[in-house]
Amino acid sequence: MSADDHRLIAECLQGDTAAFGVLVRRYQERLYNTAYRLVGNAEDAYDVVQEAFLSAYQSLDSFKGDSLFFTWLYRIAVNTAISLKRKRRAVVSIDGGRNGEQGVEAADTSESSHPGHAMEQAEQGRRIHEALGRLSAEHRAVLVMKDMEGQKYETMAEVLQVPIGTIRSRLHRARLELRDLLEKDES
């Protein structure tokens, strides 16, 4: 797939905009999922993805091919999401999201033997989503990338352009901060 990406990039640089459309379709869902986890709502996630693709298209000639195209694109999207979170840091949402969005996935129906299980799962998801929203953009980014997306430390370091030691340190502090926020919410 990497060779195919390079071919599509070359075609795009030669003026074939449809080739970039193929790259967009290939990666937009993965980028959206990451952006949603980082910014916390669908509308902002769409904006982040759109801005990331626009930025990538405008600077496509600067892509050197040292890394995978998706890694380069992912870095642009994560940085765009972090920038958006920094801009909106002072804004506190009382209702947890636009139009009541909570980003909670449906509960596993196989656990139907416990009538309150789905409600408990939804409440726990809401609490985690809310606590994630109170973390700094840097802490939220490493938590999402590692714990929700299973990214490797090396990939995270490349995307965020910081040493692996910094990734480990941020992740440790982010997990502690998240735990503290969740414990405070329980009391």
Q: Per-residue pLDDT tens for 103-112? A: 444 434 445 4
Q: List pLDDT tens digits, range 151-167.
A: 899 989 988 889 999 99
CATH number at residue 85: 1.10.1740.10
Q: Is the pTM of this model over 0.85?
A: no
The Cα–Cα gap between 22 and 42 comes to 23
Q: How far is CA 28 from the centre of its chain?
A: 12
Positive/negative CA dihedral, 32, 36, 37, 38: positive
Same structural domain for residues 66 and 123? no
Amino acid at the residue 29: E
Span 89-101, average pLDDT = 46
Last residue of a domain, one of 90, 125, 147: 90
Identify the domain boundary among 35, 55, 90: 90
